[in-house]
Chains A and B, each alone.
Chain A
Amino acid sequence: MTLSPQLEAKFNKLLESYPPGRQRSAMIPMLLYGQDEIGSVTDDLIEEVAGRIGVTALQVNEVLSYYSMLHRKPMGKYHIQVCTNISCLLHDGDKLYEHACKKLGIGHKEATADGQFSLEEVECMGACSWAPAIQVNYDFHHFVTPEQLDRLLDGLKKNAV
């Protein structure tokens, strides 16, 4: 498969980052960076990574199913992750998550029909003092109220058109 020049450079750098014979170490970073560009962990990506680090596709499959950030199905262009773990829960993170479900009309790990949004209820993401927190792709948003979430989603929708 052809990779973008940036991803190609990243993969090459990763392969040089581990001791000789330990290129398998690059697997998880490669899958995640690859997913960021392609939208999900596709069969092609698995083959590509497996080939570069010298393992079988089956071995890659076995590892990737362990990691919650690696998705075999495409997520939305904007992946909305709402934390409902304890510190966020105490700030109504669960209600915020439910609000997001209603607003987007989708549930946990689902995507909207137009592929713009997907939603995930996530565990603590290291923003507990600024709860409730969400992540849109890799961007953190802190102290999020339902109204702010509405504004944020409406803004992203406009972007999409």
Chain B
Amino acid sequence: MLYNEPSPLETRVLSRRFGKPNSASIDTYLADDGYKAFLKASKMKPEEIIEEVKASNLRGRGGAGFPTGMKWSFVPRNSPKPKYIVVNADESEPGTCKDRLLMEYDPHQLIEGILIAGLSVDAHAGYIYVRGEYRYLIEILDKALAEAYQKGWLGKNIQGTGFDFELYTHTGAGAYECGEESALLESLEGKRGVPRIRPPFPAVVGAFQCPTILNNVETYCAVPAIIRDGGKAFADLGVPKAGGTKLTCLTGHINKPGVYELPLGFPVLKLIEEVGGGIRNGKKLKAFIPGGSSCPILTAAECEGATMDYDSMASRKSMLGSGGVVVMDEDTCMVKAALRIMRFYAHESCGWCIPCREGTAWLRKLLTRFHQGMGTRTDIDLIGDVSRNMLGRTFCPLGDAAALPTISIVEKFRQEFEDHLDGKPCPFEHARHMVTV
């Protein structure tokens, strides 16, 4: 059963098998072009695979949007060290719940993408790092791996191609920061998830100090279609500098929340009105987070003419992010939203560097005070100042991820902060109360 009804406006490439009977089984996959792209890639030169991925204009789907083909080309293929393929299945960016479906409904598509990545850099082992909470997915993935080994799509001399590949699942145990690529690699080595200094980047010094491709689940899942139908066909689905489709998680005050696969460049208002069926209870849109809580928030006015792609969001000083769309209606208290978002970052800060560890804790306190009606006028500016002082001064991007949305909320919804001053109760009665802080 699907979690939500598909929308007729979707372009289902990666999700085309979602909801089919036994979609996770290798037989279903093989009957529907499964592993054909791997066979095709096994006859290509590694450079040709990477060229095809470059031609697809695929950009990383984990949040940062780095061009995937370029990332793969940085791996020193001829290095005498072993190379690794690592899958970021940590999915913990608030608002994001799409990698889960890719693994639940179509684990073999992911395995095939990993194999093709392996061919492109001469890697023979891979790890799928799955967040600890997704235990049921580890079971699904382990079953899929066993099927693939049994039918000769993993292991030694895969289908007579001479290519060997071993693939493993690895569980995390609760830590948002372990989704950050270098912290993930530390965690994979049995350590605390404290990020590494870069350069060197994982392409050169990654898992077990060896060259590594590290991508998001959705990024690998796009690869079989790219090799099967050609990079250009994938690129043509999207906009000029960003190819293909994006799994978009509609969350918040929307009539039809759900995960939808839409071409890059899809208009934001059409996403809300037509795919999502509009705002719940006929309310008006107040604010929009394009791709997870780390992205600067957009006002309703800024959503006019905006499209779901990297450039359109960058021109509005936000980011496409991870695909976790959060829709907020006119009755949302932005002070409470800012506080809840900051509580998350303060909780997840790994504590390694001071601007992030202290900044997030301080901001959480300031926002709590505000929400309780005890803020002062100077605090409004202080929230902005503390946040801006974190920007670019932290060891990993979590600091910016905490600061950027906060700055955007204070700047764009300053009036709501003023409305909480002088002991006035929160104007939104339902939002007055917040449990633990």
Interface residues of A (CB under 8 A from B): 17-19, 22, 24-29, 31-33, 53, 55, 62-63, 66-70, 84-87, 89-91, 94, 97-98, 101, 107-108, 121, 123-131, 135, 138-140, 142
Contacts and interface: CB of A to CB of B under 8 A. Distances in A.
Given A126-B134, A129-B251, A130-B3, A85 B344 contact: yes
Contact of B340 (A26, A28, A84, A107): A84
A98 B435 CA distance: 7
6 contacts: A22-B189, A27-B190, A69-B132, A69-B133, A85-B340, A90-B326
Interface string B173-206: 1111000000000011111110000000000000
A66 B92 contact: no
Nearest to A65: B192
B166 to A, nearest CB: 9
Interface of B: 3-4, 82, 91-97, 99-100, 125, 131-136, 168, 170-176, 187-193, 208, 249-253, 257-259, 289, 293, 324, 326, 328, 332, 336-337, 340-341, 344, 347-348, 350, 433-436
A37 to B, nearest CB: 13
A121 B347 CA distance: 12
Given A25-B188, A85-B94, A66 B193 contact: yes
Contacts of A101: 435
Nearest to B339: A89
Given A87-B252, A90-B252, A131-B257, A32 B132 contact: yes
A129 B189 contact: no
Nearest to A107: B436
The interface centre, meaning the residue of B91, B173, B257, B350 with most chain A CB atoms within 10 A of its CB, is: B173
A126 B96 CA distance: 6
A87 to B, nearest CB: 4
Contacts of A25: 170, 188-190
A25 B3 CA distance: 34
Nearest to B327: A90
Nearest to A41: B173
Given A85-B344, A124-B95, A129 B4 contact: yes
B253 A90 contact: yes
Nearest to B172: A28
B79 to A, nearest CB: 15
Contacts of A139: 136
B97 A130 contact: yes
Contacts of A140: 136
A125 B324 contact: no
Contacts of B252: 86-87, 90-91
Nearest to A94: B435
Contact of B257 (A94, A121, A124, A130): A130
B344 A135 contact: no
A18 B126 CA distance: 10
A126 B91 contact: yes
A-B pairs, 6 with minimum CB distance: A69-B174, A68-B174, A87-B251, A67-B173, A24-B190, A27-B190
